[in-house]
Structure 1
Amino acid sequence: MKVSVYIATSLDGFIARNNGALDWLPGIESADAPEGEDYGYHEFMDSIDILVMGRKTFETVLSFEGDWPYGDKRMIILSSQTVSIPSKVSDTVESSSCTPAELIEKLSEEGFQHVYVDGGKTIQGFLKAGLIDELIITRIPVLIGSGIPLFGEADTDIKLRHLQTHTFPNGLVQSRYQVI
């Protein structure tokens, strides 16, 4: 089983403001961005068969206008707290309070091949448990000064192998790393 992260950060390493706001992200749309460019997101989503997301990230996504962005992909919300799952997504979304290792073992036994992990604390927990295989990080050319960091404290060094970097005309820089 492969476990991947696909996420955007500000240039100073934050995935959201302290209050969870993502208002700095819309600024990436510019005249320099090629029309229809999705920065590899749809190809990535086509490669995964299940998402694991933290509760706060799930609540943020629920607040977005428009259709549910994950279609009929199965999603597990990892949280030690009760998660309120609206009926409009209850066919594909469930919650779990198990550890990252327990969850990956369960998903592997169920036959899943590629897991997408999203949400700051959730990503950090999977990294600490040594369960992330790949990081795809898109750096947005904005400094927001403070916020929720992508990476937290680590008990040991987490070594990465750089696989590729792609730059976009609007200043976004996307790098792919293998966790070794």
Structure 2
Amino acid sequence: MMRKLTFAMNVTLDGYIAAPGDDLGWSGGDGPDSSSSGEFFQFWSDRVGATDLALYGRKLWEVMSAAWPTADQAPGATPAEIEFSRRWRDMPKVVFSSTIDKVDWNTRLVTGDAVTEITRLKTEDGGPMDIGGATLAAAAMRAGLIDEYVLVTAPVLVGGGTPFFTALDSWVNLNLVETRTFPGGLLLTRYETRR
């Protein structure tokens, strides 16, 4: 039985995970200083709590590791932020990068071919894996390694930036398995890849 690999990100209605200049201000919850008391934040926290291994590209790793490892010690941290911070810090992580040389917070660095390593990780014993970061996820998408797509779509058009989906060589047929709405007009859609 292969481990399940899920690509889960916040996305704009026009399909971007970051607006031009890597702006995430539209996303409704990308750091300790944003709204982190509601069910949307809790959804992401529970995903982290249920993830056996998280795979990160360098840019997303830098965003997350700058914000979350010590957020539980910040003055005024909410109970939800404290829980997320601890879950994130404890969750095993792999960062794929050839430009950084050190990672921490229960993380290991892979500098070699990402597709080869992700393929190997999928065959190991263990629970579900999440993948994040546009470049890394695009490589896994093109290689047919992603089993599930989770999009939390924000009701905003940003006109450009970093796309959620990459160019593909062939169609990928999906089955819709869940929809859910969050306050503020956020819409979760979860799809499984048809094998």
Do both share a fold (TM > 0.5)?
A: yes
Amino acid at match of 1:116: D
2:93 matched residue in structure 1: 75
Q: State the Cα distance separating 1:5 from its structure 2 match.
A: 1.6
Of 8, 21, 28, which residue of structure 1 is paired with 2:10?
8
- 1:3-152 alignment runs, 5 A limit: 3-26=5-28, 36-37=38-39, 38=41, 40-64=43-67, 67=70, 69=85, 70-79=88-97, 81-85=98-102, 90-108=104-122, 110-152=124-166
Task: Tell me the distance in 1 between the aligned counterparts of 2:191 and 2:16.
Answer: 18
**Relative contact order, CA 8 A, sep 6+: which one is greater?**
1
SS at match of 1:111: coil
Task: Tell me the distance in 2 between the aligned counterparts of 1:99 and 1:66.
Answer: 27
Deviation by residue 1:15-41 (Cα, 9 ceiling, x = unmatched): 01232221222389xxxx9x5313622
Q: In the alignment, is the contact (CA less than 8 A) between 1:51 and 1:73 conserved in 2?
A: yes
Amino acid at match of 2:90: D
Q: In the alignment, is the contact (CA less than 8 A) between 2:7 and 2:148 conserved in 1?
A: yes
* Unpaired stretches in structure 2, ≥5 consecutive residues: 72-84
Greater displacement, 8-17 / 59-68: 59-68
Q: State the Cα distance separating 1:13 from its structure 2 match.
A: 0.6
Give the structure with the higher percent helix: 2
Query: Structure 2-normalised TM-score?
Result: 0.77
Q: In the alignment, is the contact (CA less than 8 A) between 1:20 and 1:60 conserved in 2?
A: no
Greater displacement, 117-126 / 102-111: 102-111
Q: In the alignment, is the contact (CA less than 8 A) between 2:119 and 2:145 conserved in 1?
A: no
Q: State the Cα distance separating 1:42 from its structure 2 match.
A: 2.5
* Unpaired stretches in structure 1, ≥5 consecutive residues: none
Task: Tell me the distance in 1 between the aligned counterparts of 2:182 and 2:99.
Answer: 40
2:177 matched residue in structure 1: 163
Q: How many residues align?
A: 172
Runs of 4+ displaced beyond 4 Å? none
Amino acid at match of 1:71: R
**Cα-Cα RMSD:** 2.5
Task: Tell me the distance in 1 between the aligned counterparts of 2:17 and 2:90.
Answer: 25
Task: Tell me the distance in 2 between the aligned counterparts of 1:143 and 1:91.
Answer: 34
Cα distance 1:153–1:42, how it changes in 2: closer, same or farther (>3 A)?
Answer: same
Amino acid at match of 2:102: I
Q: State the Cα distance separating 1:106 from its structure 2 match.
A: 3.4
